[in-house]
Amino acid sequence: MNYRLTPDLAAMATLLTILYFLRKRHPQERVDLWISGLLFIFLEAIAHAFYSPKGPWHVSSHVVALDAYLAAGGIFLWAASKALFPRKQTLYYLFLNALPLFAVLTTYGLDVRTAAIYRVFIVCGLLVGAVSPFLLARTWKLGGAWWIVAAQICVWGSAWFFASNGMYRDTAYIPLFAVYLATAIVFQLSLPSRSLGKVAVVLGFTLWALVFLLHSWVTNHPQYIDIASQIWDMQKFLVTIGMLLVMLEHQVSSNEWYAFHDHLTGLPNRRRFEDLLVEALRRSERNHTRTALLMLDLNGFKQINDSYGHDAGDELLQRVAHNLRAAIRAPDTLARLGGDEFIVIVTDLPVDGPVDHIADNCVGRLSGALRKPVQINGNAVTVSGSIGVAVYPDDTTDEVFLRRLADQRMYQEKRQIPLIVQFEEK
């Protein structure tokens, strides 16, 4: 065993442990795939520690290392593709195309140096690579999928050339180069932009691909072996650290989102609403337009909670929020202030025309959305709402008073409307 690799193994194990505990605190399906891929990389590192050209574990460690690279690359590529392509079809495609590559890598790891055997597997790879994209093209919406077929032909054509000329190392490593380069490209497309973790992940897989591409050249130039060995280990940690950063960035982004949104309905919360209202009024002042503020409170919401329970009440709020969101215009804002209170900011209204007409138009759309029956525990439930309207700048130019005025008008209407909730048994 090469004990000089022990610190690298320990560092890799530490990073994997950190990733595992982060995953337990913040479960994400893609992180499970990342951990699975990194476990295969860790397996490769262990096999590499036992590898020596003339040692007793030469063949077995070589086979394990090469196949672990393939398994890790396939898992990472699937994880990266999930945001772009259907998961089941992508899995079928990767599995089918991995089989001939697995045969090539295993054959090379077993020190078989017969060109005819490699050619058989390469032909299988060409056939699978030519057929499988078209089988999945309709689902993937890839057009004719010709670009995938062209890439497959280039990879396997290169492997045929190297095998025919006795360059068996390149025969094995060029397809691995293609897998890891494809992984870098798909991660570039699928991970969020402006992400430091994305930079590390994409750079790591790009370096990995280049390591496979230049492996034979480095072997034939011993003066570069030491630096190549350092790079070989570096990209493993670069990818692992990048994935840790992506997880942390995702968590920070989620925390920021929840800080400004209601957990139940996904609508902007009171804190976010206050910022949006200030922005809307400033824009209205600059553009000389009106902004309407509509305060809405459901009638009979307590009756729903008493009749069906709080879970049903939560479900009702979610359905009502969905209907209200569909009733407002794209530039307008719907927020939940808490309980059964919602508020709408209607922006860019024209300054000409009576205020009452504008108010009636806005109220009519929201009232129509509330009248839609929602299914609660198998029953069709219809609720009503009290709506108060205040218009900037007609009613006031003060943001605080505008909210207070809309709230007062809403409660004035609420006192005049009987509490009615309709239940239709199914």
Catalytic residue positions?
340
Query: Residues 6 or more apart from 211 whose CB is under 8 A from it?
Result: 228, 231, 232, 235
CA angle 314, 320, 322 (to 5 degrees): 105
CA–CA dist 406, 396 (Å, integer): 11
CA–CA dist 367, 322 (Å, integer): 14
C-alpha R_g of the chain: 31
Angstrom CA distances, 123 to 73, 155, 158, 167, 396, stand at: 22, 12, 12, 17, 78
Contact 366, 344 (CB under 8 A): yes
Which residues partner with 375 through β-bridges? 380
CA–CA dist 224, 219 (Å, integer): 8
- At position 97, the amino acid (one-letter code) is N
What is the token pair recorded at 101?
């590559």
